[in-house]
Amino acid sequence: MPVTQFSIKEKYRYQPGFDSYLQSEAVKSALPIAQNSPQKPPLGLYAEKLSGTAFTAPRHENKQSWLYRILPSCSHPPFSPLSVPPTDDEKNLHYIPNQLRWDPFDHSSSDTDFVSGMHLVAGAGDPTLKQGLGMYIYAAGRSMDAHEAYYSADGDLLIVPQEGALGIRTEMGWMLVRPMEICVIPRGVKYRVELVDGQKARGYALELYQGHFVLPELGPIGSNGLANARDFEAPVACFSEDVGTEWRVVTKFAGALFETRQKHTPFDVVAWHGNYYPFKYDLGRFNTIGSISYDHPDPSIFTVLSAPSDKVGTAVADFVIFPPRWLVGEDTFRPPWYHRNTMSEFMGLIQGGYDAKKGGKGGFVPGGASLHNVMSGHGPDRDSYEGARNTELKPQKVGEGSCAFMFESCLMVGVTEWGLKTCQKVQEAYNEHSWLGVEVHWKGTGEEAKGHLLEG
């Protein structure tokens, strides 16, 4: 069935569609008719525009929403730098060609929330120039404080839960995001993260410093397939009437954290309309496409979301998944092949196993990760290769109960000090265990190669 059967049941309503122009009101007649900013908006609300692109961006790229709220966002004292400096220096990355793999990252203590539990593992570019991306691990041991909100001015955040569901309240409304779902929270949108049923949460995230995510072009595939637009879900309006209570608002700005305290809730949006909003997606609905004759296609065929660069066909970030799927290729090595790539590949495992890497201690397991940087060779480990090389080729469903994913980028990715050393999760013997023992199957001809020489 192309829908994930979640153990935690859905509790919110949503609006379907990707990059759709939507509208929602929690109170009838809160949205003005026809115009955006009347002299006196309905119900005594303030009209506030939230722009995700320049005003003059082409119509097909333009991102903006109108929010109708009890008090405007600017109603707060100045921001101050947090007393605790950022853990990760985004301008001090280690660029190395080595293949890297991490054991599962630790769960956080009970005093760590979603924001304080975010650690930059790798990245490239500069958010002040709106170029590049950051790859994160998060681990939360508690919900954010009841009167606390967060937003990033640096980029859109793609969240990939691995353990523990997240209850995310945004300015536009609530989302429940469970493992095997993803969500995207746009640059500037305030939100608060709660843990569900008291369970600690761990997962992965990608912050996109430039542009926004789109659905990949389908080309000859046709008009449907991969992630279909109708399966994405956006929240419906939900607000609190809270004026007088002190709220702490934290922002990430140029890689550093700042805070302010205001006497009203940031979640006071009674109605909104536009195409700039948070959304979520059930990975179980992905329409996987592959070869039904021979050879394993390029993994780009598994792309869920893409963030294009200025070069057509090349992405600053692709979000790719490897879900359960049928393999039927004849006379074909069915796992992903050995590869050197001009793109960087950061992989994580949400659940189950991965058909090209062994699991267990020292292997590729849920909650861990790997990074194969630009032109660093990678592929199946020895045991996976030998198994696939000698297996009987019959129709086979792989990945049942499993889902791996990849953040792929055209950029050369640097690794933070936290990712290399502080986390203490790097598998030092990754290369040795994976590839130093690969066998030589070359049969040889017994003849000296001379075909490259001119005769005479």
HSE-CB at 433 with a 13 A cutoff on CA atoms is: 15
HSE-CB at 379 with a 13 A cutoff on CA atoms is: 18
* CB contact at 8 A, 42 and 68: yes
Q: Assess whether 345 carries a catalytic annotation.
A: yes
Q: Catalytic residue among 76, 147, 339, 433, which?
A: 339
Q: Assess whether 378 carries a catalytic annotation.
A: yes
Q: Catalytic residue among 296, 386, 417, 433, which?
A: 296
Alpha carbon distance 241, 342 (integer Å): 52
Collapsed DSSP state (helix, strand, coil) of residue 59: coil
> Which one, of 274, 59, 298, 284, lies nearest residue 188 by Cα?
274
Chain centroid offset of residue 443 CA = 45
Q: How many other CB atoms sit within 10 Å of the CB of residue 31?
A: 21
* CB contact at 8 A, 396 and 327: yes
Alpha carbon distance 260, 249 (integer Å): 5
Alpha carbon distance 143, 166 (integer Å): 9
Q: Give how far Cα 242 sits from Cα of 16, 69, 201, 264, 396, Å.
A: 29, 12, 28, 6, 56
What is the distance in angstroms between the CA of the first residue and the CA of the last residue of the chain? Answer: 68
Alpha carbon distance 306, 213 (integer Å): 5
Q: Assess whether 372 carries a catalytic annotation.
A: yes
Q: Assess whether 119 carries a catalytic annotation.
A: no
Q: Catalytic residue among 119, 212, 273, 372, which?
A: 372
Our CA dihedral for 177, 205, 158, 71, rounded to 10 degrees, sits at: 80
Collapsed DSSP state (helix, strand, coil) of residue 348: strand
* CB contact at 8 A, 268 and 208: no
The one-character DSSP state at 13 is -
Q: Catalytic residue among 25, 148, 345, 408, which?
A: 345
Q: Assess whether 296 carries a catalytic annotation.
A: yes
**Which residues are known catalytic residues?**
296, 339, 345, 372, 378
